[in-house]
Amino acid sequence: MKMTLSEIAQAVGAMIPENQLNQFQQTMITNVAIDSRHAELGSLFVPLQGTRDGHDFVANAQATGAVATFWQTGHPNRPTNLLVVDVDDPLVALQGLAKYYLMKVNPKVIAVTGSNGKTTTKDMIAAILATQNRTAKTQGNHNNGIGVPLTILEMATNTEVLVVEMGMDRPGQLTFLSKMVEPDVAVITMIGEAHIEFFGTRDKIADAKIEITNGLKEDGVLIINGDEPLLTSRAEKWQPLTFGNHDDNYLYKTSMKLGAEYSEFTVDRWPDLTFKIPMMGEFNIMNAMAALTVGRLFHIAPEKMAEALVDFQPTENRNQWVKSDCGAMILSDVYNSNPTAVHKILQSFAQVAGTGHHIAVLGDMLELGEKSAELHAGLATDLSPEKIDEVYLYGPEMKALYEALQDDYTPEQLHYYPVSEQQQLIKDLQINSHYRDLILLKASNGMHFDRVLKGLL
């Protein structure tokens, strides 16, 4: 971004002090920071309310380069040695500034949501569209009411296409985000059990996901997984483009070949072209097909799309293979977890050929509410000694799965650890994993499996 402070003040409806008008007009803002440690020369600091009050860190932001700050009107200790934009609510002002900047740059916007696969799908779409467009996309996990505005404000002024990931864990959140960005294209990858604690049923999750259409432009396009009745039944009035396995979809898979580090597939529209992605699992092929549907909508040549998919870089810790200290191969998928995702990755992991042991290390799936024990125990349907040799379970919710597997695995094959014993889990994995073993790490982000991964590397 690149805007004068006076333009920013006008965009958020703030008054400019008459005696500072020249300073506001001459001060150029090139980025926005919500963390004072990340402020730099040209930053506008936005003090948000979290576990700490962001206003307490304005001086720190100024010390690292911030040249101006939003400030909640009436908040005590207003700075006198820094340019201040007075606003009623810094978060609302951040969101308003993002909407203004989005309208100013005016890129085509693709919004992506879904219970699983939205980050990978977003990365694939961006890779495909970048073959002939100046493309920006969501970085990291910036997919909520704070992250989406930051994504918008981080894009370059010459951006032609913006791919925005949107997450939610409450009704109404996707409506808000969708109306903020007013997408030209909205993509829903699938409906699973993520956040079912707050929704109760998959039907209600589907209701929340379809909210992404509430800001969709009048001539916008909806793209959905056509194999999911919960989506197709809700999307009829938008006449969506669909992808999936069934031959009545707009784009459907005709063959596939699954590997540990790459998967290949063909689709009906380009029968002589084989697509290859640097990820395992049929579920990632579905993500790629969603991206291909977007690419076709933007008139990207199929050969260019194939080149983009084979080289695209997935976000860290999403289906990522890394080598452990002992030479075992680790499939790291530790950013998030829910029953649908775990079932799918266990099925794919079991099919990966190898000469060593298959070892599944699973941590709690969070936000499952009263169904948590049932959904954790239900993972047993994809765990058997014939497919996965050893199972390590971590966290209080995984106790239900541990009990469900008692009759299938011996004590030497099945291991359980409470949250207080993460270091013991790491130590046991270091001792018991060997060269050529395959290790799956999968847990919700709150279980801190990034530490387990680090311990094995």
How many Å is the Cα radius of gyration of the chain? 24
299: pLDDT strictly greater than 90: yes
The per-residue pLDDT for 154 is 96
Q: Is 83 a residue whose pLDDT tops 80?
A: yes
Average pLDDT over residues 205-210: 93
Output the CATH code of domain 3-93: 3.40.1390.10
Overall CATH class of domain 320-456: alpha beta
Give the pLDDT score at 194: 64
Q: Is the pLDDT of residue 325 over 90?
A: no
Report the distance separating Cα 124 and Cα 133, nearest Å: 14
| pLDDT > 70? residue 318 | no
The residue extents of the domains of the chain are 3-93, 106-311, 320-456
Lowest pLDDT segment from 54-63, 261-270, 327-336 = 327-336
Residue 197 confidence (pLDDT) above 80: no
The whole model's pTM is what?
Answer: 0.86
- Measured from the Cβ of residue 419, the count of other Cβ atoms closer than 10 Å reads 14
pLDDT for the residue 353: 78
CATH, range 106-311: 3.40.1190.10
Alpha carbons within 13 A on the beta-carbon side of 208:
25
Give dist(CA 99, CA 396) in Å, integer.
42
Asked if the model's pLDDT at residue 115 lies above 90, the reply is: no
pLDDT cut 70: percent of the chain above it = 98
Asked whether the predicted pLDDT for residue 198 surpasses 70, the reply is no
pLDDT at position 238 over 80: yes
| Average pLDDT of span 60-67 | 97
Residue ranges of the annotated binding site for ATP are 114-120
pLDDT at 370: 87
pLDDT of residue 260: 78
Residues belonging to the binding site are 114-120
Residue 117 has pLDDT above 90, yes or no: no
Fold agreement between 106-311 and 320-456: no
- What CA–CA distance (Å, rounded) separates 415 from 422? 12
The pLDDT of 135-150, averaged and rounded, is 94
